[in-house]
Each structure stands twice: as structure tokens, then as C-alpha cells.
Amino acid sequence: MLIRLARLDEAGDVAELWMQLVDYHRALDPDLPAPEPDGIQRYAKFILNLLRRDDARVYVLIDRRGRVAGYALGMIIDLVPEAFVQEKAGFIADVYIEPPMRTQGYGRALVEHLFNWFREHHLTLIECDVASKNTQGIAFWQHLSGRPIMTRLRFSPSPFSETDHGKP
Amino acid sequence: MLCLTIYIHYQKTFFIMHEMVTREATLSDLDTLGTLWLTNAKLQAEYDGRFCPSTDGLVRWMDWARSWLANDLYTVILVAERDDYVLGYIAVQIEGGRPGMLPERVGRVREMVVDQHDGEGVGTVLVDAAKNWFYDRYVSVVLADVPRRASVQQAFWRAIGATVHTEVMYVKLGNHQ
């Protein structure tokens, strides 16, 4: 097993894993976003762009057959609005390990690589989003001393018919 | 603008109340909105230490608000008022969805602040106005981040029909084993 930075020619492999991640989430909660019809191609393009940037890192887990069996994507972003005391933060967008490779510490190892990269940039605050129904994912982050600070809620705008506040 | 006058007979005195209305904020609202923002920001810092207003926070917030008022395509600040008195505001925007995912555009509630002293029903009116704004722009999904420890806010959003989507977690490096 090997963990290293993803290469440009592996963007498609990472996108295949991303698709598995989306399916995994949709199985947990059908209300979570669906992929676009060409989602894999779009995501591969997105990864390809990130691999050329200095403010993002994609680490991959390579299995014994040389396949990409997991990945973790991290970015450096400004999470705090300008009016507040600024603290640049690391954002971990995706972590995924293929099912047969789970519970062997590879997810943690991938994340540790990102943590080290964040440390090199003197970042101490790391944020990630976890689907509320992904109890395994929440437990994973809690094991890394992660704590939930915000709940992201979702609603759909519907026609407003009861009154017409503010309209002529 | 709809303005309904209601007469209430209470202890032999007649009061006149006007209905709350919503409208898009203008530059002339900035001072009032800034005051509301600062009051709320100090409260929010108690829930989430990351959001501590900087020393020049109000000036920065005003700059940010000005830029939002100038961008009328993807952002808006809506205010609720009664008798020309601003009771609260909601700042919302349309942004791109996550790469490869549907929908391609999502709505985000960036801020919602209600006057702590006269805020009954203001949040619902503001959210309804925001829903209208999004609906008119064909946005089908809106996301709002609410501090985990803000139980009143959590209850409010659930009451208007919002469902839990994701947990936003953070890790302080150096603490984990």
C-alpha cells in the first residue's frame, strides 16, 4: 500500500471513486445531491484543475495491484467572512476509501497527509462537511478530535401565496 | 406596498399597528443594518469562537454589504420593517453547486439577523421573502448554516421546514492523537 500525491493521469480514477462516494451518500440519504449526467467527467476536470494549483492537494491510496483505491482532497480557503477575525483554514472536501480497504487505518493515513500539508502552511483549523446520516463518517472525524460546530439545513423555495409581503 | 392598519382596543386606548413589510435593502439602510449585524455578531461569537468580530469588523461588514447591494443578480439583502423601523434582515445569494453535482446552482442564506427586542415573526417573514426571491430565480435548493449550540435558531429553521443536510465539523490541529 502506498499513499502519495495524485498524478494528472489519475484524475479519472479519482472521479470514479468520487462517483462511488456519491452513491454511498445517496444510499444513506436520498435527499443528498445527485450527480449530473456527466458528473464524472466534470469532477475529473475539477480534479485536474486542482492538481495544477498550489492551494489544493489530492492524496491517493494505491493498492497492491497499483490501482487507486482511495483519495482525500484538501484545499486552503478563507472560511471566515471578512468582518471577523481572520483565520485561514484547511478544508477537506472529500475522503473516500473503497469498501474492502476500510477499517485498516488508510482513511486516517490519507487525512494525516493532508494535515501535514496544512501544518506546512501554518494552518491549525481544519473544516469538513459530513452528511448527517453518515454516522461512520462522523465517528471517523470525532476520532480525529473533530467536533460538529454547525448544522447545514436545506429547504426548497416554494411559491409564496399566503400574503405578498413587500410586493406592490 | 401592502399596509394594513389594525385597531386594537386595549384598556380603553386605541393603538395603531401596521403590518410588517419586506423590501430590498438600499444604501440608506446600511447604518441600521450594521448596528444589527454588530449586535448579532457579538452574540454569535458566544456560540462559535471562530466568528469573533475584528476591531474594524463593522467597517468591513459595511464594505461587504455595499458590494452585495451592487450585485443584484446573485445576491440580495432583504429587510423587514414596520412603520419605517427596520426589524431585521436576511442576506442571501445564489452560488454554484458542488462540482459534478445537481443542482448546478444553490441558494445560500449568508446572514439573518432579527432585532432582539421586537423580532416576533420577523424571521418567518424574512425567510418567506427570501423563498420568493429564490423561486423567482429558479433556485430549487437553499442551504443555511446554523450553529449547533444555537437551539432557538435550530428550532426556527426546522419549523419552517428545513431538514438537516450535513454537519460542518472542524478539527484543531495539534489536538488529535
Residue type, A114: L
Contacts of B176 in chain A (CB under 8 A): 115, 144-146
Total domains in chain A come to 1
Q: Is residue A95 a part of any domain in this protein?
A: yes
pLDDT value of position B48: 67
ipTM comes to 0.85
Q: Is residue A119 a part of any domain in this protein?
A: yes
Q: Is residue A148 a part of any domain in this protein?
A: no
Q: Is residue A75 a part of any domain in this protein?
A: yes
Residue of A nearest to B45 (CA): A84
One digit per residue, the tens of pLDDT, for chain B of length 177 reads 333 433 444 444 445 567 899 999 999 999 999 999 998 888 877 766 666 777 888 888 899 899 889 887 899 999 999 998 999 999 999 999 888 989 999 999 999 999 877 778 999 999 999 999 999 999 999 999 998 888 889 999 999 999 998 999 989 997 444
With both helix axes pointing from N to C terminus, report the angle between B30-47 and B57-70 in degrees, rounded to the nearest 10: 120
From the list A32, A82, A153, the residue facing B60 with the nearest CB is: A82
pLDDT value of position A86: 60
* Run of H or E residues at B123: helix B122-136
User: The CATH number of the domain where A91 resides is what?
Assistant: 3.40.630.30
- CB proximity B49 to A under 8 Å: no
Cα A29 from chain centroid (whole Å): 17
List the domains of chain B with CATH numbers.
Answer: 22-159 (3.40.630.30)
Distances (CA, A) of B109 to A56, B127, B150: 26, 9, 16
Q: Is residue A163 a part of any domain in this protein?
A: no
Residues of chain A with pLDDT under 70: 79-87, 159-168
* Nearest alpha carbon to residue B163 among A144, A141, A79, A29: A29
Q: Is residue A28 a part of any domain in this protein?
A: yes
Q: Is residue A98 a part of any domain in this protein?
A: yes
Whether B132 and A35 lie within 8 Å, measured CB to CB: no
Whether B135 and A128 lie within 8 Å, measured CB to CB: no
Domain encompassing residue A118 = 2-143
Whether A84 and B57 lie within 8 Å, measured CB to CB: yes
pLDDT one-digit tens code per residue, B6-58: 344 444 444 556 789 999 999 999 999 999 999 888 887 776 666 677 788 88
Q: Is residue A12 a part of any domain in this protein?
A: yes
* Nearest alpha carbon to residue A97 among A142, A125, A136, A135: A136
